[in-house]
Amino acid sequence: MGEIDPAFIQDPEYRPELKPIEPDEIPVISLSVSSPSDIERILSEIGDACQKWGFFQVINHGVSLELRQKVEKLAKEFFNQPLEEKLKVKRNEVYPVGYYDGEHTKNVRDWKEVFDFLLKDSTMLPVSFDPDDKELRTLTNQWPEQYPPEFRLLIFLLVIFLINLRSNISTAVCVVFLIIFTAMFMLGIFLR
């Protein structure tokens, strides 16, 4: 198998505990709503999952299995290519989005690859953080040449569904916290 690049080796105190989590332990929340009581159930389950776990899996979210499978297939095709093919769309100073495999956590290289893209293919951003600097920079996406046009379309279609899903979940989490804080206020419980 060969040697492991030392850049990937974490100090012992930062290594994860190898205690597997059983899949049935992770909270799974169905977003299917057929009655007003379902909304109460969803809010309760989200509140419980946020308190006990900090995350949860959602099902019945409206993103079709067919779309998810097509995007996953295209992503696997991209990441299974030889490195030299992926480097053709590598992030750099001109293109800050695209392929990247140099993420670090606590000064240790991560075992992951990413492909970043902008939702709007032509996005204007300030050149600097200086509020007096009015100069703008246009950022554009890099797309792998070997993919058919459907790659972009499928990615953007998935993103539209996910933005809607994110909005719905964020609203639900906000409602849960609003209920909690309102109850705390009414009971005279204050955070100090």
pLDDT tens digits, 76-105 = 888 998 999 899 999 998 888 999 999 888
- How far apart are alpha carbons 187 and 92 in whole angstroms? 54
Q: What is the pLDDT of residue 190?
A: 58
Q: What is the pLDDT of residue 29?
A: 93
Residue 171 confidence class, pLDDT cut points 50, 70, 90: confident
Please spell the DSSP secondary structure of 81-117, one letter per residue: S-HHHHGGGB--SS--SSEE---EETTEE-S--EE--
Residue 19 confidence class, pLDDT cut points 50, 70, 90: confident
Q: Across residues 46-65, what is the average pLDDT?
A: 89
Q: What is the Cα 161 distance to its own chain's centre?
A: 13
Residue 44: how many CA atoms within 13 Å on its side-chain side? Answer: 6
Q: Is the pLDDT of residue 50 over 80?
A: yes
